[in-house]
Amino acid sequence: MTGTIAHVGPEIPQRLLRATGRHAGAIAFDPDRATSAADRWMESKFAPWAKSILEGWACEEYIAHSHIVFSRADDSAQRLYYYICELQRRGLLSGPEPVILDIAKVPRESSLAHTAQSLKKLADRLGVGVDDLVAAGAPSPHGVTDLERPVCLLAGTPPPDRRLHDAIETAGYGAAGATLVESWGLLDYAIDPALGDPFETLARQVHVSPHGPRAFIDAGANLISQIEVLGAAAAVLWQIEEDEAQAWHLPAQRAALERAGIPSLVLTRRDWLARDGAAEEIVAFLSGVGA
């Protein structure tokens, strides 16, 4: 096989992609670009990054890739997969082959078995065997938060880049919290072949992963746990207008933050590109916390 492989969406095991020897990372996209082609095909409630990717696809920016792997663990990602397949069928798009990783998250044995089956299917398709999977290189180190300063966790919708992190740092805090592309690479754990079939191990990692919108977790407890691990002094909960999953966690997360006594700023229904003054609000909030 030739050509590189990129991925779209959360909870795709990075180890499996790395084992292909052709993984180019998450698909590249420009969040600020106009999306005139994508707007003709895609509706308003999709995550904005889905439109940026569709626009990039229409502009033939992904022709170096042979495959793009989409995650079923995110609704915009999985629908984008169907849209691209259809547009290719109709001759309106060309480019790499879209592939979907069918991740099942329900906490039952049937979903775990289905996810294991899906991982094996994807591995077969990409030419990855058990030995390749075990031998795949170590996970790349995640970004390190500046622990010299008090830390503020940016949670909620993963932002397109570090523009909100920059606002946190402007206010004198170390900024923690994954950007969108970073969040798509979080499922990257070691595999111990002594523990049994590596694909079964991988499936268990995917099945219980808390990193996507379809995770079965206590969102309030999960947020507090992140804050405690980081020793964060404050939190910003930022959700965009198009988000459909995070919104349902809001009461539980607010209550958890209040119980834990963590200073927090909650911003809902916000602009993906932060053109609505979110950065200024974050700076003002953190200045108040520090005062």
Partner 1 sequence: MTAGPGIRSRKTLACTAEATAFQKAFGQELKRKVVEEGEPFVIAQADTPHEIFHAMDIPVIANQWWSAYISAKQLSARYFDAMVEAGYPANSCKYCSLGLACTLANDPATAPWGGLPTPTVLVARLTCDCIQHVFGQWAQAMGTDFFPMEAPAWEHKEVHWYTRSNSEWEEVYEEDRIALMMRETEDLIALLERKTGRTLDLGKLTLLMDRINEQEQYLWEAAQAIGEARPCPVSIAEQMPNTMIPQWHRGSDWAVEHARKFRDEVRERVAHGLGASTNEKLRLMWIGAGVWHDPGFYQALEETKGAVFVWSMYLPFAGPQYIREVKGKPMEALASRICSINEVLHLPPWMNGWMTSEAERCGIDAAVMLLPPDNRLSQSGNKLTALALEEAGVPVLMIDADMVDAKNWDHDAMVALVADFLAGRGLA
Q: In what order do the strands lie in the sheet with 4-8?
A: 23-26, 4-8, 65-71, 97-101
Per-residue binding letters, 193-232, with partner 1 (x by CB under 8 A) = --------------------xx-x----------------
Residue range at the interface with partner 1 (CB under 8 A); choices 17-25, 111-119, 161-169, 203-211:
111-119
Closer to partner 1 at the Cβ: 2 or 44?
44
**Whose structure tokens read 């995640």?**
142
By CB under 8 A, tell whether 55 contacts partner 1: no
Give residue 21's region: left, alpha or beta (phi > 0; psi -120 to 50): left
By CB under 8 A, tell whether 46 contacts partner 1: yes
Residue range at the interface with partner 1 (CB under 8 A); choices 23-31, 36-44, 151-159, 177-185:
36-44
By CB under 8 A, tell whether 108 contacts partner 1: yes
Which of these, 254, 274, 273, 272, lies nearest to 264 by C-alpha position? 254
The answer to whether the beta carbons of residues 236 and 267 sit under 8 Å apart is yes
Query: Would you call 150 helix, strand, or coil by DSSP?
Result: coil
By CB under 8 A, tell whether 42 contacts partner 1: yes
List of residues 6+ apart from 171 with CB closer than 8 A: 152, 282, 283, 285, 286, 287, 290
The answer to whether the beta carbons of residues 269 and 241 sit under 8 Å apart is yes
By CB under 8 A, tell whether 130 contacts partner 1: no
Closer to partner 1 at the Cβ: 70 or 285?
70
- What angle, rounded to 10 degrees, do the helices at 48-58 and 75-89 form? 20
By CB under 8 A, tell whether 287 contacts partner 1: no
Q: Where along the sequence are the contacts to partner 1 (CB under 8 A)?
A: 40-46, 72, 74-76, 78-79, 81-83, 85-87, 89, 100, 102, 104-106, 108, 110-111, 114, 117-118, 213-214, 216, 239, 241-242, 244-245, 247-251, 254, 268-269
